[in-house]
Each structure stands twice: as structure tokens, then as C-alpha cells.
Amino acid sequence: MQLVTVAGPPSSGKTSVLLRLAAVLGRQGKRLGVVKFDCLTGRDKDVFDAAGIPCAAGQSGALCPDHFFVCNAADAHAWGLSRGLDVLAVESAGLCNRCAPHIEGALAVCVVDNLSGIDTPAKIGPMLRLADVVAVTKGDVVSQAEREVFAFRVRRANPRATVLFVSGLTGQGAEALAHVVAGAPATPTLDGASLRFTMPAAVCSYCLGQRKIGADHQMGNVRKMDFPREPA
């Protein structure tokens, strides 16, 4: 089974891209399944169910979504094996842009959309910088030049990546993505595999449920900002 991590900002089109990918893989006789990590409730499972794509969904709720993801990654992999999938896509909700779910030895895909602004490729950090493939969506509503400038900024942020235009609307570009997925390495197990990027350091009083604001209530791993001072 091949494992593919899929990350991207909210509403960038991750789910649509996966639906299109599943259709192309299906025609080639390969079965794609999805484990969807969300923060709060999501309706994506219904969409995958309706398309007949095996899907398991988990919500991190009160926990850090990235820690929740990594604690369940090996279980997700085991679920994929048990379902006899050929390709397992692990989709995680991109939230603060600080983290990336990408794993050494598994194909890493980042989905970004053309409408998200010209500085987004530089801003969203490791989920794009450490990806093997960047799928750029919503190209059908912006000008050709903007598509090109956006793709150029993506390549500058991550010159290693293969940049593909994928339309969630028409499926254009899904064949190219399927081609890259087909060439990805198999992931026999996630036991002992490494994340490409560390998870955020936590453990301050607020991790443990503190709600009060002020110096007296801050404990543990606390960092202070430098505010500019008025010249004397």
C-alpha cells in the first residue's frame, strides 16, 4: 500500500482533489481510501461515502490537531491495510500553518488554491516547503498570468516539488497526479517512520486547561514577544 499525506489550507480543495484522484485510480483498477483528520466536525466523510470511497474520520476536538494526527497515523495506516487499499490518503486540516503532516518515505502532497493570495506559498510553511507534489487548484477562475505567477512563487518556495494544476471542478490534471502517486514508494509500515517536521513544543499552563490571562497564570514553556519601545 502507498501512503500519501495531503495537507493544505482550509477550503483549498483537498477533498475535491482526492475525489478526482480516486476516480482516475479507480479506472486503473486501484482502490483509494481516505483517513480524514479534522479539528471540529466535518462533512467530508459524507462526500467520500457518497462517492463509494472508504473513509474514516477523526476529530481532534480539544487536542492539538497535529499531535492528534501523529498519535493516530500508525493506526490509520493499519486501517488502510485492513481494508485492502492500494493507496491510503491521509488528509489533515491545515490550521496554523506551523506544522506539516508529511512523513519521510511517504509521498507528500500539498494543495493550495490560486485565490489564496500571492504570498501564500511563502507563508504556509513546511506543509508546502517539504511537499513532493504541490497541487494548485481553482486555476479556472483566475487569469493565466496569475496562475503562472502563483506557480512560480510555489516553485521558489519549494524548487524540489512537482507542481501540478488540478481542477476539482473538471478533474483536469488528476491524471498527472495519479501518475505521480503510482510512482510513489510503498509504505509497508509507519512504525519507526519519522515526521519531516517536528510538532509544536507545548506544555504550558494553557495546555492543561488554564483560561485566566496574566503573568500569574502562565507556567511552563512560555515565550514572550519583544514589543518595540518608545525612544527615550
Partner 1 sequence: MTSQYPTFAAIWAALPPARDFFAAQGLPMPAPEAAPADYFAALTPDALAEVGTDAGTLAARFADFLAALPRLGAAAPRLASLTIRGGTGKDGRPERLDLTLVPGDVVALVGPTGSGKSRFLADVEWLADADTPTGRRVLLDGKTADAAGRLAASGRLVAQLSQNMHFVMDLTVREFLIAHAESRLLADVPAAAEAVEGLANELAGEPFGPDTALTALSGGQSRALMIADVARLCASPIVLVDEIENAGIDRRKAIALLTGSGKIVLMATHDPLLALTAGRRLVFAAGAVAAVIATSPEEKTSLAALAQADAKLAALRDSLRRGGSLCFSQEK
Q: What does the binding site for partner 1 look like in residue numbers (CB under 8 A)?
A: 27, 114-115, 118, 122, 125-126, 129, 136, 139-149, 151-153, 155-157, 159-160, 162-165, 170-173, 175-176, 179-180, 183, 197-198, 201
Q: Are 22 and 32 in contact (CB under 8 A)?
A: yes
SS3 36: strand
Q: How far is CA 225 from CA 175, 210, 222, 228, in A?
A: 47, 20, 10, 10
* Cβ 84 to partner 1 shortest distance, Å: 24
> Minimum Å distance from CB 90 to partner 1?
19
Closer CB to partner 1, 78 or 118, in the complex: 118
Q: What is each CA distance from 44 to 146, 171, 177, in whole angstroms?
A: 29, 18, 21
Q: Which is nearer to partner 1, 47 or 115 (CB)?
A: 115
Q: Is 80 helix (H, G, I), strand (E, B) or coil?
A: helix
Task: Give the cell for residue 80.
Answer: 488502510
Distance CA 18, CA 2 (A): 14
Which one, 46 or 148, has the nearer CB to partner 1? 148
Determine whether 14 is exposed, middle or buried from the number of CB atoms within 10 Å of its CB (0-12, 13-18, 19+). Answer: buried
Q: How far is the CB of 144 from partner 1 (least distance, A)?
A: 5
Minimum Å distance from CB 34 to partner 1?
A: 22
Nearer of residues 39 and 180 to partner 1, judged by Cβ: 180
Cβ proximity to partner 1: between 145 and 232 the closer is 145
Smallest distance, partner 1 to C-beta of residue 35, A: 23
Q: How far apart are CA 103 and CA 177, in angstroms?
A: 19
